[in-house]
Structure 1
Amino acid sequence: MVPQDAPAGQYGFVRSNDQGEFVFGNAPGKKIRFYGANLCFTANFLDKAVADKLVEYLVRMGYNAIRFHHHDGRLVDPAVSDSVKLNPETLDRFDYLFAQCKKHGLYVTTDLYVNRNFKSPATGCYGLKAQLPIDEHAMESWKDFVRSWMTHRNPYTGLTWGEDPALISLCLVNEDTLSANWSANPKVAALYRSKFTEWKKGREGDDQTLFREFLFELQGNVLDRQIDFVKNELGLKTMITSLNWITDAPLTRLREKLDLVDMHQYFSHPTFPEKAWQMPIGVDQGSSIRRGASLPREMMPTRIFGKPFTVTEFNFCNPNRFRAEGGPLMGAYAALQNWGGLWRFCWSHSDAGIIRNPGQNSFDASNDPMQQLSDRIILALFLRGDLAPSKAKISYPVAPFSKNSPAMSYPGDFANLGLDAQIGSHAAERKLPAGVVCWRPGMKTQEPPRIRLDRKAGTLAVSTPLTETATLPAGDLAVKKLRVKDASKFMTAAAISLDGKPLTESDSILVIHLSNISQSGAGYGSSTLLCAWGNSPELLVERCTATLELECPGTPWRVAALALDGSETGEVPGSLKNGVFRFTADTTAFPGGILAYHLSR
């Protein structure tokens, strides 16, 4: 759908233009967006033959990027409490995977710290994130590991990791927002309180506001030191980011220090009523559409105009029954906002999820047709750019803590503007880039809506010349060229031109029809409490039928039902009458289930 441009890094380091769009250092006029997925834990350390097959598959998926995540704990000796020495065996596998990604046009983003073991000799406490601002041992451990890794020369590329332009960006510390981490360990929390008592002397204000300012100041100092280390001491040219969790408005002032803004958000993230990451799992069975596109809308204000914006973790988590809405929601709104990159979380949490089919879980896409087909919709709307960005750009001014104690969250009426216009935020005293206006209460967008979201009806309609999508709870929904009639239940339909011609003129159209998928044998205590995923890798496809119509001024299409590997399963009858082509989509029309069709002529 989007031609691969290999190898990654051939145009120099990824950079930003003055509009906050990704370009290249040696080709500043060449814009690029990124789409991919996360590899986690042992999925980063594959046998070479498995790595080859994985990269080939990801390229065939249409990805042009990947994120290495939850990797640092296995790059060193996990049995050592503060190891910074790289493990030769896992490092070699990591080097090879990176080189194969680069060779085949997959750009890479990763984190300099996720969950590597660290135990402070000063406090005796584990955990690096909370101790970075208050314990020099934590900072030195972070630096030693980063230096060891980024100066290591990859034998398969001939470059050190730090000098390789196939790296899009580096996150200093994953999800490092101090307001969410400082109290994780009671002993460390006591140190924070003690330091705060000294810090607040002579300062006016209530303790809650002052403590936020105290954490904010500590976080800023840590960022300054880390950025200075990687850019000046190590001389890295890769773009730097951090603070990729929490949407509190004041964090915009800290994110101004970064080369790009990155965020994480999930819909129906699992909860654990009994034991963390163990069954049973609490499941939110709501719909993001009915919540006003909460994912991705809640992230929109954190973008800073003039800097690229990425989302390195998102998912509409399994087994939410409305997760078929995820493709149109993320693809359309990311394109409307002109974001720079999206990474699904995740492809796999393990090598087993790549080598074989261990069954489903809340996140992994490697054995989930719902996520892989949803990605085709995102690839069309966002990566191919079928939906043009909004021309309206509105930014919310964030005042410093010392000025009237700024609110922690963005006004709701401002965030809702993101459904029709590009939005972001900025330090109040900063001059905005050309074409960006400062938000005022009561401000409305002048552009007519190009994404039709009806939260009350639970519908979403997206129309572009090359792609149209319809999401509805049941019944009928007309987009423009695409119409859905008599849908038996909740579903998403998408028509995507594959030959670059407008839908009505196209000779090759991919039609996607998604409702719900579940693993065979899954057990529930209630609709919102999953007790077992099931012990079979077989999937159950929910039966959903609908009449799909496409405007067709010329020759009718042949409709081929597609198996999950893309091969033809059978032919579906269609009819042309009065310039409208129609056929019945039925997820159970052929053995194995049908979630996609190819229209050709």
Structure 2
Amino acid sequence: MLRLAALALAFLLLTGASRADDVWLPVREVSLELQSGSPLDFSALLPNPPINEQSRIVINAAGRLARADAPANPQRFLCASLGWSPASGGFPDHDGADRYARQLKMHGYNIARFHFVDAALMFGRTADFDFDPETMDRFRYLMAALKRNGIYWMMDGLSSTRGAYGGYDDRWNLAGEMKLEVQIDEKTFQHWLKFQQLVLATVNPYTGIAPIRDPALVAIIPFNENSIEFDSVLHQREGQPQYSRLLQPVFNTWLQKRYGTTAELSKAWGGVAAGERLEDATIGLPASRYEKTPRMRDLQAFFIDVETRSAERMTAALRALGFRGVVAPYNNWPGVQTSLSRSGQQAVAMNTYQDWIGGYEPGRSLEQKSSLADAAAYMRMLAGARWLGRPFMVTEYDHLFWSHYRYEAGIVMPAYAALQNWDLLCRHGHGPIVLAYGEDFAHKRQMLPYAIALDPVARAGETLAALLYRRGDVLGSPASIPFRMRGVEDLTQNMYEREPDALTALALLAAIGLQKDAPSAPASALTVASPRDPAAAATILSALRDSKLLDPENGTDAGKGIFESVTNEISLDRNRLRMTVKTGRTEAIAFADLTDTVTLANLTVGNAVGRGLFAVSALDDQPVGSSRRLLVIYATDAQNTAMRFSDREERVIADYGRLPVRIKAGSVDFSLPGKGRWTISPVGLDGRVQPAVARGSGAVATRLSNAGPKGPTTYFLIERQ
């Protein structure tokens, strides 16, 4: 240990840094392919059984995803997001696909999401549906390679606003209104349907079956992120109407069916504008999406009707093609309106981001905001959109690079996803892993937002997610708190009406979700009634205590920003920007400051330099206290070489810089009780175990630096005799 400290000190002197948290250590690994048996190889710890008809994924009686041959055992799916484009290298060749699929299995993934496949197939093509044959071949082969490794699939029916139309070079941009048109225009719907027929309903020669009938295909998102309000926000331009002109005739037809005459409409709205006549279909859309008027309330009801009927039609079309899996439309945008649109679906999928960034150009900015400062609001937003008794899938989430706080994502989302009993968790990116640094593609020459594969901090978080979420180290909540919804009666004149923050804070304690209100529904002290009353949160908290679901020692105090789960495994302190997880097989802490010392169950940690995530997980399926082989995850921050910002707070990017990636130097004291001899060895980002840097007997106790002798790392291996 003294030798390691001397190396760190020498580095400080050489760089002339005045503080340890100013030091950035270049990553030395190039190849990132794990070797079999590495501490980062989870293929034995988290085995992927063969995929066949018996293991087809179904919705069980409790509304959870499960294997057909074991419906009583819900499955948690850790998802690999495959959102490739030519800028990120596209689909690999056959050898690359075999290696990639094998690596995904080793990293603990058991499902992959295909995103923007339509754009990849149509890149550079001039004629409609003239798919690039090499890309199609690589796509189909990768599907087969994943299936051979026990990795299921989920798929966007379409992702790009250009669909499979030829002649466009902006397929990954927001141009075009296809996401709206597919819901209101017959020709566009038929275009969508033809893509499903040609891509999903056509036999894959490498599997011998059409993907839409393959047991490997778990779920289809008919069209990614096509909520009408969200799409209209993305298309809003200064000086232009806030809602597409395509909506007005359809809206007028809907109003005619509802009100019949201008007089009746005027009575309901308290008047209409001069020149507006329902009989002439000249009733206008709201001038501002932020107005709070009866017109806006009816626009929301209209959106619900259009989205409900569109979802039903797309689902029926997929069923007619032979799909037996899960269909989950409208996978984004929280709020009363969209929740009601999703109320009739068999499953719900949602996307969310902390510190969202819309592009890569210099001048883009983020807030440098901790997700713990608002008590994980981005996670709670998802929880409030779920419908209880149905599968719930997070198709996209991230706490984006270059946020200093993104280490939080590796504990916040997987821990709470497990507590909420969610079925699928997918951190969004061009791909969750790369086989090596240095690939010569625009999105792989340096770390970027959504390039989680290149980011050691994001990768460390995904490693922890495999244990907390997929392995099941964090227990699901034994209690669910229903948020009752009546129907369109719950709409207000505010398009952006959402579940109150005080009520979604209950998701930090137990599972929450929406439930249809009914006169026959039994009353419960743990039910959130409609209309919402934020003050009901305190009443429900008391009911949790009275029912003994909350342990008498539970430290929840909303006034002080402290929330502890009913399982006593998760604790969040929003004022200290700190979160802890303590389970039998994993103990972890995320911290903005840890100059004090904290003891979880077995782990004691403190006196840290800088922010970070620290976790200890048993690799031999034993409790942490008696495990002989433990993985230590220690993630601080990472940046590119020569990365520059336009401001001192590092909110505005000026230059992303270049490889190699640099990890921020950090150190922390930690200890674990125990007996016998022990060693601590750095584990490279490629999974290779390096020579021990500390050893002793009895309790494991040391100061750990991430500045290993062979370069910085986020992993260490504890071995005890």
TM-score with structure 2 length normalisation?
A: 0.77
Residues in 2 aligned to 1:75 and 1:120: alpha-carbon distance in whole angstroms: 11
Alignment of 1:108 with 2:144, yes or no, is no
1:486 positional shift: 0.8
1:254-265 equivalent positions in 2, closer than 5 A: 254-265=341-352
* 1:64 alignment counterpart: 110
Residues in 1 aligned to 2:336 and 2:584: alpha-carbon distance in whole angstroms: 37
Residues in 2 aligned to 1:153 and 1:355: alpha-carbon distance in whole angstroms: 36
1:465-544 equivalent positions in 2, closer than 5 A: 465-472=584-591, 473-476=593-596, 477-526=598-647, 527-535=650-658, 537-544=659-666
1:88 positional shift: 2.8
Partner AA of 1:586 in structure 2: S
* 2:279 alignment counterpart: none
- Pair 318,364 (structure 1): closer, same or farther in 2 beyond 3 Å: same
- Pair 236,135 (structure 1): closer, same or farther in 2 beyond 3 Å: same
Alignment of 1:193 with 2:280, yes or no, is no
Residue 597 of structure 1 aligns to a residue in which SS? Answer: strand
Residues in 1 aligned to 2:151 and 2:525: alpha-carbon distance in whole angstroms: 32
Cα shift readout 1:148-191 (whole Å, capped 9, x = no counterpart): 22221011111011110101101111001111224737698113
1:568 positional shift: 2.7
* 2:508 alignment counterpart: 419
Q: Percent identity at matched positions?
A: 23
Q: 2:679 aligns with which of 536, 544, 558?
A: 558
* 1:443 alignment counterpart: 540
Alignment of 1:155 with 2:205, yes or no, is yes
Residue 348 of structure 1 aligns to a residue in which SS? Answer: coil
Residues in 2 aligned to 1:344 and 1:433: alpha-carbon distance in whole angstroms: 37
Residues in 1 aligned to 2:192 and 2:376: alpha-carbon distance in whole angstroms: 38
1:352 positional shift: 10
Q: 1:27 aligns with which of 49, 59, 70?
A: 70
Kept after mapping to 2: 8 A contact 1:337/1:421: yes
1:20 positional shift: 2.5
1:347 positional shift: 4.4
- Pair 399,434 (structure 1): closer, same or farther in 2 beyond 3 Å: closer
Residues in 1 aligned to 2:395 and 2:482: alpha-carbon distance in whole angstroms: 22
Residue 183 of structure 2 aligns to a residue in which SS? Answer: coil
Cα shift readout 1:55-85 (whole Å, capped 9, x = no counterpart): 111111111111111111222465347x235
- Pair 434,128 (structure 1): closer, same or farther in 2 beyond 3 Å: farther
Deviates more, 1:331-340 or 1:244-253: 244-253
Cα shift readout 1:334-387 (whole Å, capped 9, x = no counterpart): 111111111111143999988825221111122222122111211111100011
Kept after mapping to 2: 8 A contact 1:393/1:435: no
Aligned residues: 588
1:104 positional shift: 0.5
Residue 178 of structure 2 aligns to a residue in which SS? Answer: coil
- Pair 491,349 (structure 1): closer, same or farther in 2 beyond 3 Å: closer
Gaps of 5+ in 1: none
- Pair 560,350 (structure 1): closer, same or farther in 2 beyond 3 Å: closer
- Pair 250,190 (structure 1): closer, same or farther in 2 beyond 3 Å: closer
Residues in 2 aligned to 1:403 and 1:590: alpha-carbon distance in whole angstroms: 61
Kept after mapping to 1: 8 A contact 2:79/2:426: yes
Alignment of 1:456 with 2:575, yes or no, is yes
Alignment root-mean-square deviation, CA: 2.7
Cα shift readout 1:21-45 (whole Å, capped 9, x = no counterpart): 2112243234311102211233552
1:47 positional shift: 0.8
Residues in 2 aligned to 1:484 and 1:464: alpha-carbon distance in whole angstroms: 16
Residues in 1 aligned to 2:520 and 2:671: alpha-carbon distance in whole angstroms: 49
1:288-307 equivalent positions in 2, closer than 5 A: 288-307=371-390
Deviates more, 1:446-455 or 1:71-80: 71-80
Partner AA of 2:479 in structure 1: A
* 1:178 alignment counterpart: 228
- Pair 60,12 (structure 1): closer, same or farther in 2 beyond 3 Å: closer
1:89 positional shift: 2.4
Partner AA of 1:211 in structure 2: L
Kept after mapping to 1: 8 A contact 2:213/2:324: yes
- Pair 436,261 (structure 1): closer, same or farther in 2 beyond 3 Å: farther
Residues in 1 aligned to 2:222 and 2:340: alpha-carbon distance in whole angstroms: 17
1:311 positional shift: 0.7
1:302 positional shift: 1.1
Q: 1:428 aligns with which of 517, 525, 528?
A: 517
Gaps of 5+ in 2: 1-41, 167-174, 260-264, 270-293, 530-535, 555-563
Residue 235 of structure 1 aligns to a residue in which SS? Answer: coil
- Pair 118,322 (structure 1): closer, same or farther in 2 beyond 3 Å: closer
Partner AA of 2:224 in structure 1: N
1:18 positional shift: 2.5
Residue 255 of structure 1 aligns to a residue in which SS? Answer: helix
Cα shift readout 1:370-420 (whole Å, capped 9, x = no counterpart): 122111211111100011111110111123224663872102222000001
Q: 1:97 aligns with which of 142, 146, 160?
A: 142
Partner AA of 1:499 in structure 2: D
- Pair 354,308 (structure 1): closer, same or farther in 2 beyond 3 Å: farther
Residues in 1 aligned to 2:212 and 2:521: alpha-carbon distance in whole angstroms: 32
* 2:99 alignment counterpart: 53
Kept after mapping to 2: 8 A contact 1:15/1:22: yes
Kept after mapping to 2: 8 A contact 1:9/1:107: no
Residue 712 of structure 2 aligns to a residue in which SS? Answer: coil
- Pair 452,250 (structure 1): closer, same or farther in 2 beyond 3 Å: same
Partner AA of 2:125 in structure 1: A
Partner AA of 1:156 in structure 2: Y
Kept after mapping to 1: 8 A contact 2:395/2:425: yes
Kept after mapping to 2: 8 A contact 1:175/1:244: yes
Residues in 1 aligned to 2:639 and 2:178: alpha-carbon distance in whole angstroms: 38
Residues in 2 aligned to 1:342 and 1:599: alpha-carbon distance in whole angstroms: 28
1:116 positional shift: 5.6
- Pair 26,126 (structure 1): closer, same or farther in 2 beyond 3 Å: same
Residues in 2 aligned to 1:599 and 1:351: alpha-carbon distance in whole angstroms: 26
Residues in 1 aligned to 2:435 and 2:584: alpha-carbon distance in whole angstroms: 41
Deviates more, 1:12-21 or 1:558-567: 12-21
Partner AA of 2:599 in structure 1: A
Residues in 2 aligned to 1:332 and 1:403: alpha-carbon distance in whole angstroms: 31
Residue 280 of structure 1 aligns to a residue in which SS? Answer: coil
Kept after mapping to 1: 8 A contact 2:125/2:131: no
Residues in 1 aligned to 2:315 and 2:679: alpha-carbon distance in whole angstroms: 57
1:305 positional shift: 1.3
Alignment of 1:370 with 2:457, yes or no, is yes
- Pair 87,541 (structure 1): closer, same or farther in 2 beyond 3 Å: closer
Kept after mapping to 1: 8 A contact 2:438/2:445: no
* 1:39 alignment counterpart: 82
1:144 positional shift: 1.2
Kept after mapping to 2: 8 A contact 1:41/1:349: no
Alignment of 1:270 with 2:365, yes or no, is no
Partner AA of 1:416 in structure 2: A
Residues in 2 aligned to 1:525 and 1:349: alpha-carbon distance in whole angstroms: 29
